[in-house]
């Protein structure tokens, strides 16, 4: 059996994060400049069933049998084994590397899962189709954060811009005209589970206030979908600004995110907002290619630890 390698992109949420957990639509796009890679190779000297997992980025080098059952990577292996109805796995090594920053709202967990599911199932001789890959990645996402909407595993599996509504079949988004997004990283790790859990408690304490915010975010995502499909990029900036204001009202922004968002707007971005779970992680700015360098410089001066320039194209 030859070694099999698979990669999966990072992602950004353009509109509707958090509200999407509560059934409102959201828009996400892959970010191909950062990727997770999983390589599965045979381990001829190990006993059948002996699975070794290496993830040097997080200092993991262990036998599957020695890891806790609820470890996301253990679950990936078990779920692929169950999906293929295999009583036993051959001896193998699963090695994961990734350039996607962790706990930064760029979908690193889902990308690692998707890359692992694809390389494992291909190595075992039966590559799983996209819908199964996405479904397994969704189950594993639940271990990263309790109540995922499913947007991360969907956009990363299908590797194209999506208009996503929880529980509904995937809708890929036609992009009428390309546009440029600059991603700015606060450098503050912020696990999505904490942001989602905190907002859930707030929502439970005051349903009507938060439902109103989620409805408004949903309307913005609908308007943004039309603008993207019709190639009316100039409409997207104000929609991003409005979405950021709503996310601030939901309590998921932070001083540093607000600072980067302001810096981007001041340097000429058409609009800016936090992206993903918030409270840290990344923000995104809509820029003209001509202003990208100036906005990038402004983000760096305002404390961004990294920037990624990405283009959303048809
Ligand atoms: O922080 P990320 O990249 O995992 O994005 C999470 C997006 C949320 O809407 C906050 C949660 C979800 O499951 O959709």
Q: For position 288, what pLDDT does the model report?
A: 97
Residues with CB under 6 A from ligand 1: 13, 17-18, 20-21, 105, 107, 148-149, 151-152, 192, 196, 276-277
Taking the CA of residue 192 as reference, the ligand 1 atom at the shortest distance is 1
Q: Tell me if 303 sits within 8 A of 183, measured CB to CB.
A: no
Q: For position 92, what pLDDT does the model report?
A: 97
Pocket test for ligand 1, best of 10, 30, 141, 149 (most atoms within 8 A of CB): 149
Query: Is a pLDDT exceeding 80 seen at residue 146?
Result: no
For residue 28, the surrounding DSSP H or E stretch is strand 26-42
Task: Just list the catalytic residues.
Answer: 152
Nearest CA, atom 14, ligand 1:
149
Q: pLDDT tens across 61-120, in order? A: 999 999 999 999 999 999 999 999 999 999 999 999 999 988 788 999 999 999 999 999
Q: For position 160, what pLDDT does the model report?
A: 95
Both tokens assigned to 33: 């400049």
CA distance linking residue 85 with residue 19, whole number of Å: 37
Strand partners, 28: 13, 162
Nearest CA, atom 5, ligand 1:
276
CA distance linking residue 6 with residue 94, whole number of Å: 11
Query: Is a pLDDT exceeding 90 seen at residue 147?
Result: no
Q: For position 183, what pLDDT does the model report?
A: 97
Q: Which residues contact 139 (CB under 8 A, 6 or more apart)?
A: 75, 79
Q: pLDDT tens across 108-127, in order? A: 999 999 999 999 999 999 99
CA distance linking residue 265 with residue 143, whole number of Å: 36
CA distance linking residue 70 with residue 31, whole number of Å: 28
Q: pLDDT tens across 258-309, in order? A: 999 999 999 999 999 999 999 999 999 999 999 999 999 999 999 999 999 9
The residue with greater pLDDT, 1 or 237, is: 237
Q: For position 104, what pLDDT does the model report?
A: 80
Q: For position 145, what pLDDT does the model report?
A: 75
Q: Tell me if 196 sits within 8 A of 145, measured CB to CB.
A: yes
Quote the ligand 1 centre to 46 CA distance (angstroms). Answer: 39
Quote the ligand 1 centre to 148 CA distance (angstroms). Answer: 7
Taking the CA of residue 277 as reference, the ligand 1 atom at the shortest distance is 1
Q: pLDDT tens across 220-269, in order? A: 999 999 999 999 999 999 999 999 999 999 999 999 999 999 999 999 99
Q: Which of 157, 242, 151, 136 is nearest to 192 (CA)?
A: 151
Q: Which of 69, 9, 48 is nearest to 310 (CA)?
A: 9
Nearest CA, atom 13, ligand 1:
148
Can you list the positions of beta strands (E) in 225-292? 271-275, 282-287
Write the burial class of residue 133 (CB in 10 Å: 0-12 exposed, 13-18 middle, 19+ buried).
buried
Quote the ligand 1 centre to 182 CA distance (angstroms). Answer: 19
Write the burial class of residue 85 (CB in 10 Å: 0-12 exposed, 13-18 middle, 19+ buried).
exposed
Q: pLDDT tens across 172-223, in order? A: 899 999 999 999 999 998 888 889 999 999 999 999 999 999 999 999 999 9
Nearest CA, atom 3, ligand 1:
105
Mean pLDDT of the chain: 95
Taking the CA of residue 147 as reference, the ligand 1 atom at the shortest distance is 13
Give the model's confidence band at 41: pLDDT under 50 very low, under 70 low, under 90 confident, else very high.
very high
Q: For position 171, what pLDDT does the model report?
A: 86
The total number of residues shown for the chain amounts to 314
Q: For position 264, what pLDDT does the model report?
A: 98
Q: For position 249, what pLDDT does the model report?
A: 98
Q: For position 102, what pLDDT does the model report?
A: 82
Q: Tell me if 190 sits within 8 A of 196, measured CB to CB.
A: no
Pocket test for ligand 1, best of 151, 156, 163, 221 (most atoms within 8 A of CB): 151
Q: How far from 303 is each of 44, 69, 189, CA to CA, in Å?
A: 49, 39, 14
Q: For position 190, what pLDDT does the model report?
A: 87
Query: Is a pLDDT exceeding 90 seen at residue 144?
Result: no
CA distance linking residue 266 with residue 260, whole number of Å: 10
């Amino acid at each position: 059996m030859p070694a099999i390698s698979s990669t999966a992109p990072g992602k950004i949420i353009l509109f509707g994060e958090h509200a999407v957990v509560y059934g409102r639509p959201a828009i996400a796009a892959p970010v191909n400049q950062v990727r997770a890679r999983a390589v599965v190779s045979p381990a001829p000297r190990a006993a059948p069933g002996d699975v070794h997992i290496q993830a040097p980025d997080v200092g993991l080098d262990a036998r599957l049998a020695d890891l806790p059952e609820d470890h996301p990577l253990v679950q990936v292996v078990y779920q692929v084994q169950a999906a293929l109805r295999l009583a036993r796995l051959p001896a193998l090594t699963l090695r994961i590397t990734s350039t996607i920053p962790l706990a930064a709202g760029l979908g690193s967990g889902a990308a690692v899962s998707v890359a692992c599911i694809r390389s494992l199932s291909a190595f075992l001789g039966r590559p799983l189709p996209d819908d199964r890959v996405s479904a397994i990645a969704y189950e594993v996402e639940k271990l990263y954060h309790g109540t995922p909407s499913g947007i991360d595993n969907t956009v990363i599996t299908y590797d194209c811009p999506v208009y996503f509504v929880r529980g509904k079949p995937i809708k890929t988004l036609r992009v009428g005209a390309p546009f440029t997004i600059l991603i700015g990283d606060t450098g503050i790790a912020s696990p999505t589970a904490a942001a989602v859990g905190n907002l859930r408690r707030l929502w439970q304490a005051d349903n009507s206030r938060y439902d109103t915010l989620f409805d408004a975010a949903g309307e913005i995502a609908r308007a943004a979908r039309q603008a993207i499909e019709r190639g009316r990029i100039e409409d997207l900036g104000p929609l991003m600004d409005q979405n950021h204001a709503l996310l601030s009202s939901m309590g998921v922004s932070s001083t540093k995110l607000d600072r980067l968002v302001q810096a981007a707007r001041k340097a000429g971005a058409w609009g800016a907002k936090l992206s993903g779970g918030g409270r840290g992680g990344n923000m995104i700015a809509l820029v003209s290619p001509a202003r990208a360098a100036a906005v990038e410089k402004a983000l760096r001066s305002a404390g961004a630890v990294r920037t990624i320039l990405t283009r959303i194209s048809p």
